[in-house]
Amino acid sequence: MSLYGLMAVFAEPEALIEAARGMRERGYRRMDAFSPFPMKELDGILEIPKTRLPWIVLAGGIAGAVLVYALIWYSVEIDYPVNVGGRPLHSWPPFVVIAFEAGILGAAFAGFLGVLAANGLPRYHHPVFNAESFSYARGGKFYLLIETADPKYRKGVTRGQLTRLGAELVEEVEA
Amino acid sequence: MAEASANNPVVLRGRHDFPEISGRIGSIVLNGRLPRHFWTAFFLCFLLILLLLYSITYLIAVGVGGLGINMPVVWGTMISNFVWWIGIGHAGTLISAVLLLLRQPWRASINRFAEAMTLFAVAMAGLFPILHLGRPWFFYWLLPLPNVHMHWPQWRSPLVWDFAAIATYATVSLLFWYMGLLPDLAVLRDRARSRPAQLFYGILALGWRGSAYHWARYQVVYFLLAALATPLVVSVHSIVSLDFTFAITPGYHSTIFPPYFVAGALLSGFAMVLTIAIPLRWAFSVKDLITLRHMDNAAKLMIAAGMVVAYGYVSEAFFAWYSGEPYERAMMAQRALGPYAPLFWIMLSLNCGVLQLLWFRGIRRNMPLLFAIAVAINVGMWIERYIIVVTGPSRDYLPTSWGEQSLTWLDFGILFGSIGTFFALVFLFIRILPAITIFEVEELAEEEGKLG
């Protein structure tokens, strides 16, 4: 079996941040950190790019509103025009209400499906689950993963560095 | 965080660590050894579900004549139940979305069940307009579907807006709730011992692994969904109120309705949050996670919303008089002195009178008393909805046709049946899913230095 990476286990969130920073300073780039709750500090250390999902949400909202407004416009002007005492067919204020709701619905779907797609979820299996120690079962542990694909990765060296940075345990993760 | 004082209890009490938090919250679900009174209460709710099923069957078989409605009052408990349930749902969204945007840390332990409450309340609310149709099997005519009649919904009708608003609200609430659940489902997946539980939570968790890259996107989108839910929740109850205000019926036709309905929704919603949270924290010994601070804040929000509702009552009465419209004035006088007067005064004494007790800190921190007040407000808000729905049409522009409606067993069967079904769903939720957000409580414990 080929190796996917090295998984280092930390007991404290601060230890994970210290270790991530330390490994980064040593030149590692193909890293990922795992925590039971979001940790803002990791975004900077791992140089996680700013997500473009807000634009997807905006596009979903506009698409929902425009599509539904267009549907209403089509129905009142073309497919089913009803002349009520000469009043305008395209009486827009009431139509805005439904278009607004549709906009919210479109944006929410775009956001929810977008975050799943961007994260590659749902996913049946991932190599990190091969690590014995990787589990929420005993509550929150904090994990740092160095991938073997990292150009700086040397089996013994990397393990030693992780241990010196305070890892409780360093485990090889099979791909 | 500063040390707690008697005046300002802390959000989390005592020292915690991560295994303890996720273990305690998770074990409520995974061990499944729930106290006997839990199942007793569930059984009572189950009886009410049977009552609901019987009542609905009767209603569909016999028709809406089985309800107390009659000309001229053709809107009855179905509509007031609908408005009441939707309102109850709104507090859940307010807690989960608005307090998230305002970065109020105290929401963390109560947002999950408040969101679940929203979902179940909206599910109940959705029943009533459909049952009230008389021919409920044609409800899909409200949707713009291709059909052999070649017609379309009437887009200018508030009833069609209502359908769009409720459907959107239910869907967005579900997405927001499920997204919040994802990390906790991963915790349950890893903690589960039995194979069926591992499969169940494993499939629902969608392979969540808590990667820093995932969390970064997750948080951005979670905040965006909260930002979307906030205008949505205001629009939903405003649209519900437009069902009334678009008619010229005295007592319906008023511009105060949208804000007044939203405030009423928050008042009844927070009352329901307390009605569920007080027994929950007692029964599952999570008094250190859901603390007096939560109860205190919810009670304060109740009084804030309640004062806006009181302003709504005053404004309604004032503008009925100020309009100079004889029928508006007559309706308002009849509401206070006519056949529905007892209900009207009970409503005022509960929603405006009993509510004032919450100004006192001692009462806000006294759980049995706070629970009693919350139940009283729930009752008061139901009566308010009923008064609004029935007094207008009972005193409209043709005094010769003034008349009242009665309440039959079917009205109460459906109301209490829906209450029972709602609580049964809440019980099932507590049994199957973590009722307290594990990852947010852990984050809060970390931020507040409450780790021992």
Q: Which among A33, A104, A126 is the nearest to B172, CB-wise? A: A104
What kind and span of H or E run contains B95? none
Residue B114 in domain: yes
* Contact partners, residue A80, CB within 8 Å, separation at least 6: B150, B151, B152
B263-282, pLDDT tens digit by residue? 999 899 999 989 988 888 88
State whether A48 and B155 contact (CB < 8 Å).
no
Q: Are the beta carbons of B209 and A129 separated by less than 8 Å?
A: yes
- Minimum-distance CB partner of A71 among B19, B144, B161: B144
The reply to whether A72 touches chain B by the CB within 8 Å rule is yes
Mean pLDDT (chain A) is: 86
**Could you tell me which residue, B220 or A159, shows the higher pLDDT?**
B220
How near does any CA of chain A get to the CA of B51, in Å? 34
pLDDT higher than threshold 70 for residue A107: yes
Whether residue B9 lies inside any domain: the answer is: no
Q: Mutation target for B interface from A68, A119, A129: give the one with most B CBs within 10 A.
A: A119
Chain A positions in Cβ-Cβ contact with residue B178 (cut-off 8 Å): 112
Query: Which residues are CB-neighbours of B56 under 8 A, at least 6 positions away?
Result: B127, B131, B414, B417
Whether A73 and chain B come into contact, CB under 8 Å, resolves to no
Taking the CA of residue B55 and the nearest CA in chain A, the distance in Å comes to 33
| Chain A contact probe: residue of B109, B201, B214, B440 with most A CBs at under 10 A | B214
The shortest C-alpha distance from A125 to chain B (Å) reads 7
pLDDT along chain B (452 residues), means of 10: 49 68 75 79 93 94 89 89 92 82 78 88 91 88 81 88 92 91 87 86 88 90 90 91 90 88 90 88 77 87 92 92 91 91 94 92 90 94 92 89 89 94 90 82 75 56
Contact B439 A37 (CB under 8 A): yes
**What pLDDT is stored for residue B2 in this prediction?**
39
Q: d(Cα B178, Cα B274) in Å, to the nearest integer?
A: 23
Instruction: Find the closest chain B residue to A98 by CA distance.
Output: B161
Contact flag A126-B446 (C-beta cutoff 8 Å): no
Environment class of residue B156 by beta-carbon count within 10 Å: exposed (0-12), middle (13-18) or buried (19+)? middle
Domain that holds residue B203: 18-137+153-447
- The nearest alpha carbon in chain A to B179 belongs to A112
The answer to whether the beta carbons of residues B238 and B263 sit under 8 Å apart is no
| Whether residue A29 has pLDDT greater than 70 | yes
What's the confidence (pLDDT) of residue B434? 83
CB contact under 8 A, B161 and A76: no
* pLDDT value of position A79: 87
Residue contact B442–A140, C-beta within 8 A: yes
C-alpha B37/C-alpha B44 separation (Å) is 10
Q: What ipTM describes this predicted complex? A: 0.90
Nearest to B18 among A105, A128, A139 (CB): A139
Confidence of residue A153 (pLDDT cuts 50, 70, 90): confident
In this structure, is residue B3 part of a structural domain?
A: no
pLDDT at residue B417 in the model: 95
pLDDT at B121: 93
- Tokens 């009520």, residue located: A84
CB nearest A94 (choices: B156, B191, B225): B156
Catalogue the long-range contacts made by A18-27 (C-beta closer than 8 Å, 24 or more residues apart). Answer: A18/A165, A18/A166, A19/A144, A19/A162, A19/A165, A19/A166, A19/A167, A20/A45, A20/A46, A20/A144, A21/A45, A22/A161, A22/A165, A23/A144, A23/A146, A23/A161, A23/A162, A23/A165, A26/A152, A26/A161, A27/A152
> Is there a domain that residue B1 lies in?
no
Taking alpha carbons only, the member of A49, A7, A66 closest to residue A32 is: A7
What's the average model confidence in pLDDT over A100-106? 95
Structural domains in chain A? 3-50+126-174 (3.30.70), 53-118 (no CATH)
Which among B207, B225, B439 has the least Cβ separation from residue A123? B207
Task: Note the pLDDT tens digit of each residue in A111-144.
Answer: 999 999 998 888 888 888 877 777 776 666 788 8
Contacts of A37 in chain B (CB under 8 A): 183, 215, 439-440, 442-443, 446
Q: What is the 8-class DSSP label of residue B12?
A: S
Look at residue B400 and tell me if it is in a domain. Answer: yes
Q: How many CB atoms lie within 10 A of CB A25?
A: 9
Q: How far is A135 from chain B (nearest CA, A)?
A: 6
CATH number of the domain bearing residue B247: 1.20.1630.10
Count of structural domains, chain B: 1
What's the angle, vertex CA B173, arms to CA B313 and CA B376, rounded to 5? 35
Task: Indicate if the pLDDT at residue A110 is higher than 90.
Answer: yes
With an 8 Å Cβ cutoff, is A124 touching chain B? yes
Among A33, A36, A105, select the one facing B171 at the smallest CB separation: A105
pLDDT score of B441: 80
Phi, psi of A173 (to 5 degrees): -110, 120
Calpha distance B239→B256 (Å, rounded):
13
